[in-house]
Structures are given as structure tokens and as C-alpha cells.
Structure 1
Amino acid sequence: MTARSVKKRLRQAACGLLALLLSSQGWSSPALTAEDIPSLRRDYQLYQAWSLGRNYYFGTTLKKDRIMALAWQLIYVSLLPERYPDKNTLLSFYQQGLSSSQYAEAKSKAALLKEKYHLTDALSEAQLAIAYRVRDEVNAWDKLDLGLPPQAVSAHFNHWLQWLAERGNRALALVLDEQASRLNREKKFPIVYGQVVIRGPEPLGMVQSNISLSPEGYFVTQAADHSLTFALPGYQPVVIPVDNRSIQRVGPVVLKKRSHSQGTGVVGRVLPWRGLQYGNIVLTLDETNTIKQSDPWYHPVIPLTVTPAGEFYATGLVPGKYHLYITTAGVSTAIHFTAKEGEIRGLSLIDLRARAGESKAGKA
């Protein structure tokens, strides 16, 4: 089978799959609600932890590190529902060849990472079921009621704190009040307060900003730069100028995904491919100007479906430049491509068999 015929077949298959997905969504599926947000955020964290474990194991975009690979897999397993099928077997692949002391080191690192990124709560079976049901409803976030405070409330700092306290956030309100008092005593003006929300599943900790945010997205801080910046890969960046008033409300800052649809995606095939235990594929959006830190947790990866035959696809992409990183059969490569609005980008066959020392005869 030629590369052209493989590409044609994959494009046709992807278009057929998209038609099936689009026809099966919407009418019979319950709408996304605000109550679904925690489930989707935890599901996103689950995928990110799983992806980081594999990335460290294979050294796809990160330096190969078996200890860190096991640490992230430990986190992944800890976030799964208690009765998740075969949960107790998911560590064996990462543990093989490691000593008991290395396992202990990985376990210690996992505990520190869970605390650092607030990954302490496992999904329930109900939450995971919700995530499976609504995770592909890419446009539903635009219409979702995020439960923000009325402008008349948020315009006054004390009223805003009272609103938070009345909704189960009393401890947070006390912390924010103390932060404002400290800044006022130290005359660190202008003081700004507000909240950042994301119309999407990414955790708020992934937002890049020139100010510190709480895990819930709230902030009370000095605007030393007289402007606030907020960015997240795949989302429209937000820049807010700040005047010289002593204390002022900002926002709410709502990060909205750039134009996207299920009809925008990528499809391709890599050879050789022997399965997920022998290779790894990572898809990322090129956002080099957005992400300012090297911490891999803040570099979100895009969910990618890979078949046992090495075929892969992703849909619901935003238009832009992407990087596809592949590690298989002991060799690695990087593919760069551009996704256009409403287009399923078909990549040519990524044939690494010669580099892997395999014969092309009889394999397609």
C-alpha cells in the first residue's frame, strides 16, 4: 500500500468517523451544566498525569526518567475511581526493572507533585461517567452559566467577600481579606481583586499570568505592572489595563477558546507501531509565546486516539500550528503541521521502518 493510498484511506475513515460523531451528539445527549465542570476538570488532570508518565517513560519530549514516569503513573492511578477495572495492574509496566528504593523515591515524588498541583481527590465512578459523556461537547462551554457574582456585588470588595463566604468559601474569603489588609498596610497600590474562569476543562493552575492566582482562580494582589495578563494555550489571551485607584475590581476574567469545531483535526499513521507499551505519540499546540515556564505540567497535551495499527487522529482542534512527537521501536521524530478551520489534516504515512531496521515488505 502506497503512502498516498494510506493517506486517502485514513482521510476517508476520519471523515466517516466525524460524521458518526456529529450525528450522535447533541439531540440525545444531555446538555453540559455547571455541575459537570468539576468532573471535566478532574478528567483533564487525569489525562495530563497519564500523558506525563508516558512522556517520561519514553523520553518523547522530556528527558527519559523512569522515577518520574512511575511517580506520574502513581498519581494517575490514585485519581482513578476506587473500582476502576484492573486498577491494581496499571503500575506493573512502570515498575518493571526498578528496585524497592526507586519505587519508594517515586512514591515520595508523587506525594509532593500531588500537593503542588492540588491532585488529591480521586474521581468517583459517577464523575468519570459524566466526563465520558460530555468531554467532546466542544461548543457547549460558550453557553454555560459559570455562576459568577452579579456586577453590583463584585464592584464592592466587602460585598464580594461576603458573596464568596455565603457560597461555601468562607475560608477563602478570610484569606483574601487578609491579603488585602496586608497590601493596604504596606501601601502596595494599586490593589486589584477578581476571579479568572475558563470556558473549558483545563485546570485553573495552567493559566499563565503575571499575578498569583489561587487554585480556584481568585486573586487579591498588587498590580505592579499596571496591567494584568492571562494566557492559556488554545485560548484567546486577555490583557487588562489597571489605573491608579487604590483598590479596584478586575473582571471577571473569562478565558474563551479560540474558534474550534469537531470538523478541525488531524489524521495519520506511523509505522512501525507495536502498541502503547512500545511507543508514544504526543500532540501539542505551538504556543511558544504563551507558556513562559518550563514546568511540563503547564504544557497541556492534546488527547489523541491511536489504534493498534498505528493510525491516529484528533478532532475539535483550534486552527494553528501543531507539533507531533513520535517515539516508536527505539527511534523518534517530530512532525510540524498547520490545522485550518473545518479541515481534517491528513498527514502522509510516517514511515520509520528503515530507521528502526525493519523491512517494509508485506507491512502496511
Structure 2
Amino acid sequence: MVLLLLEGRDPPTLVETTRLMFTCLSCNQAKSSWLEVINSSDSLHDHIIFILQSSTNVDLLKNTGEFVDVLLDLQEDMCENWATAEFVQALLEAIKQIGLSHSQQLEIYFRILQLLSTTDTGAEVLVLCADAVEKPLVKYLNTVCDDEIVGIENKESCIASALSVLNILFSANEETSNRLIKDEKLIRVFVKILEPLYPWLQDIKKSTTNQSEKKHLLSEDSCNVEKTDLKCKNKDHASGTDEESSFNSEILEGLKQRDDKEFQHLEILYHIVEGFVYDYMFTLQMMIDSDNESDGEEETQKTDVTKFLSYLNDSCSRCRINYLVLTMKESINEAFNPTELLTDLAAKHKKERLARITADALAGRNLDRSDSNTDSQNNT
């Protein structure tokens, strides 16, 4: 009965209907019955597309996005069934309406695109719509990286979704990969995101290695609290100590859960960046190999490589290059070593500063200085 309300065109009714659908689908007790109704509906997909394509109501787009996000996350076959060019175009229309400044709504829609990319059908449709899908993703990432110091806190999921989908397009669409490699803005996105991400993740990893010690100390503290409680009860029959101990334990557990969740989000983002950097360098290697077999394209390829290298050599701080090289180092496998390509290109094109910093990073000489033969005055 509720789904029939989607046939109407009254915005306030649609706002409340989509909110109810999202709430019920998010409820463990109710979601099973709702999924049965949704799966039996022949018109829901069309109604959702109509809302996404035509609505200018931000609340309606938010509620609809939340509903679709939960639905596709719960049922993988929905990602297959709803993966159509029309649906993707409708999502892009909604994104235009929401705007590309970071927001919860934008994060939801980027996550929907990422969910679609997890299935073969969804990935194929996204690649077919590559030009249209690429533009908002690249624009958002460039906007995030416009500031000199990039703040990724509370943006990890949105950045991860944007990079994940963009990597699908990069890996599967030759025009997209050629375009993104020719534009140094993509490597700029990598180094500027890695600058806060890499050390932040390392700090959390270090703190987790001490987790067992912390647990031991916490156990001792709890034991001491219990002993104190017993003494207090025997001497003064005091009350409230148990409640205080329980309260402190709840706070500690809450902090642990928050740290674990934060680490999970950062780790996901890092692995997405690491994989994309690897794919970027591997594609660059393939282009160079192809050029060596075709003299006609040699000059064009040389310009592309020089642009990429010049950006790193002339416009990146030592810190940013260092984190990029360490990330490449962690992605090395038997098939390809991206650090070897970077080292060879830096030497071949006489990018001495880049070559020196790369060698330092690979040798573990992570020098903490902003200058290395005058780091760029334009670290952007």
C-alpha cells in the first residue's frame, strides 16, 4: 500500500513516504517483509528513477538516496537488476541537484555508485557511462584537494567511494585512463590525500599494537576497583562505586569502538588509494611499452611522462613524495614494481630531486625536512 504513494507527485507526501521506506528497511524486525513487497513490485525502479531525475527537493533526494543505499546493500541481486544506464543517469542528475561540496547526501550517492560497481553488470554500465560518471567524481576530488592542507576527517567514506568508482573507469576504459594520466591532477589527488592519511593510519596501527598491554592495565584497574568496592562496602556500605566503574568501562569500550571504526574507514581508503596508485603506474608502464613499439606516438607519450614527473619533481614537498613512494612500495608484487618505474623515469628524464627523494624513501631515510634542493615554492 505504501509503495502506491510513490505514484503520486506531491513532494511532501513523497518525502514522508521515502522516509518511512528507509526507516522500515533499516529495521531488523521489519526489513524481511518489506523486501518481499519490494521484490514483487514492478514499478518501484521506475518511480525511483523519476524522483531522482526530476526532483529539486533536497529532503526528498536525501530520503530516496538513503532508501536506495540500504536496499542495494541488503540485496546484491538488486545491484544487478537496477544497474541500467537510465538509473545511473538518474543518480547523476540527483548529484547535480545536491552539488559537489562535501555533504552527507553526496556521500550517500557516491556510495550507491560504488555499490553498483561491485557487480559485473553494474561495472559494465558505469563504464558505458564513463564520461558522465567521471566528471562529478574528479570534480569532487579536486575540490577536496584544493586546500593546501587536505582534511580527510569525516570525508573518508566519500573519498573512498569516489576513488573506487573512478578506478573502475580508469582500469576498464582506455579513453578515461589516457585522459587521467595526461592530467597531473590525479597524481595530485593521490599525494595530497596520502599526506594526512598515511601517518594517521600508521599512528593508529602503532596504538593497536599496544592494545594487549592496555587491556592488561585495564584489567588490573578493574580488579583494583573491585577490591576498593569490597573494602568500601565492608567499611562504609558506600553506594555508587559499581555504577562509576560500569560508567568508566562503558566510556572505554565506546572509545575503543570509535577507534576501531575510524581505523577501518582509514584502512579501506588507504587500500583504495594504494590500488589506484598501482593501476596508475602499471598503465603508465603499458603506455610506455606500447610507445616503444610505435615510434609515431613517442613524442606524445614523452610529453605525458614529463608532465607527470615534472609535477612530482617541481611541485611536491618531500613529505608527499615520501608517502607516495612508501605506498608504491607496499603494493609491489611479482608482476610489477611501481617504484622501479618511478626510479627509472626520474633518472631518464633527469629529475634529480625526485630521484633523490625516491631513493631516500626506499632506503628508509625518511628525512623530515620541507626543503630538498628548494622544494617547490608552489606545493599544490
Q: Which has the higher contact order (CA 8 A, sep 6+)?
A: 1
TM-score interval (norm. to shorter): under 0.3
Larger Rg: 2
Q: Could you state the TM-score of these two structures normalised by the residue count of structure 2?
A: 0.23
Q: Could you state the TM-score of these two structures normalised by the residue count of structure 1?
A: 0.24
Q: Would you tell me which structure has more helix in proportion to its own residues?
A: 2
